[in-house]
Amino acid sequence: MTLPLAVLLALAGVARAEAAWRITTPYQGNPLKVAVLSGEGTASGNHFPASLEFSCHPGAAVPRVVLRVPVMVADWDFHAYDSSGSGSVSLRRRFLKIMAANRRVIDRPVYTGIAGDNASFMFSWQPNEALLARLTRRQDGVQVVLDGLRRNQGNMQAHFVIPADASLMLSVLRPCSGALSGQKGAASDAK
């Protein structure tokens, strides 16, 4: 078998693989665990890997979710979304939407944006009950949409397929179970 054919077969196997949560421990000697769900992003006609990362630091008991994307996405100036910069727009306007597979809005969170490691950018927010409920039921997926800063820029989208087994993600968020029960769902989910 030639090398290019082997690479194509390996990629085909990855494409057919079922979605699954992966647990990481980003800091040695720290109890923080992160449940990571891999997905695909698109912007300006480009496709790139994206991830949703759920965590709950046992000491803080506050859940967090991070959308991580590469900073080398064409036509996107992530510095404008950086919450630590003086020119940040993220604290003045909401550009981020979390949507169900049927395009129903689950949440419009207020987020912080910051440069991450390995040439990535991270959008971080506290998840609401509507999002967490979707992650515990097998659905078609969840989509995160980030509106561009200019009208002609379009938007960046990241799509994630919900794994059949949510037990790993729930084990990571277990220390935050008290904080999760008090959060409200998105207004669009209210009847």
Say which residue the tokens 């200019």 belong to.
150
The encoded tokens of residue 15 equal: 């494409």
Give the Cα separation of 28 and 65 in Å (integer): 20
Is 0.85 surpassed by the pTM of this model? no
Per-residue pLDDT reduced to its tens digit, 50-96: 999 999 877 777 899 999 999 888 777 777 788 876 555 544 556 78
In sequence order, the 6+-apart residues with CB closer than 8 A to the CB of 29 are: none
For residues 36, 138, 49, 25, the Cα torsion angle rounded to the nearest 10 degrees is: 10
> For the chain, first and last CA: distance in Å?
58
Per-residue pLDDT reduced to its tens digit, 98-121: 998 888 898 999 888 888 888 899
3 has a pLDDT exceeding 90: no
Find the angle CA(126)-CA(153)-CA(109) to the nearest 5 degrees. 10
